[in-house]
Amino acid sequence: MKEFATTNGSHCTGDGIKLALNIGGGLKDMEYVQVHPTGIVDPREPDNKVKWLAAEALRGEGGIILNNKGQRFVNELGRRDFVSNTMLDRKEGPYRLVLGADAAEQIKWHCGH
């Protein structure tokens, strides 16, 4: 199973799933667990497994996602599962979400992170 960073709080550890598995329970519909394509990385802790959620509104205001060569490779307005799966399939990370000054001004309430 692929391990991802999370935008959930550090208190979300999957204990309920672990308990169920330990007593013989199974997993169902795990393919519906959402993987969000963008998170804000704290440059002081780049390897921290807990990230700030980079809201879809950033992409909606004109943010673009670039691969490790600085190339745009996906329609950022696609559904989050499409964008996430494209990123996983292409394996061209690290990826960067880039916003122009006008877009950042429109969504400055979120850019303050």
List Cβ neighbours of 55 (8 Å cut-off, separation of 6 or more): 107, 110
- At 83, phi and psi to the nearest 5? -65, -45
Verdict on whether the full-model pTM lies above 0.85: no
CATH match for 15-111 among 1.10.3470, 3.30.300, 3.90.700, 3.80.10: 3.90.700
36 given a catalytic annotation: yes
Catalytic residue among 11, 36, 79, 90: 36
| CA 87, chain centre distance (Å) | 10
| Local confidence band at 113 (pLDDT 50, 70, 90 cut-offs) | low
Domain boundaries, the chain: 15-111
53-90 pLDDT, tens digit per residue, is 888 888 989 999 999 999 999 999 999 889 999 999 99
Q: Check if 11 is active-site.
A: no
Is residue 87 a contact partner of residue 93, using CB atoms and an 8 Å limit? yes
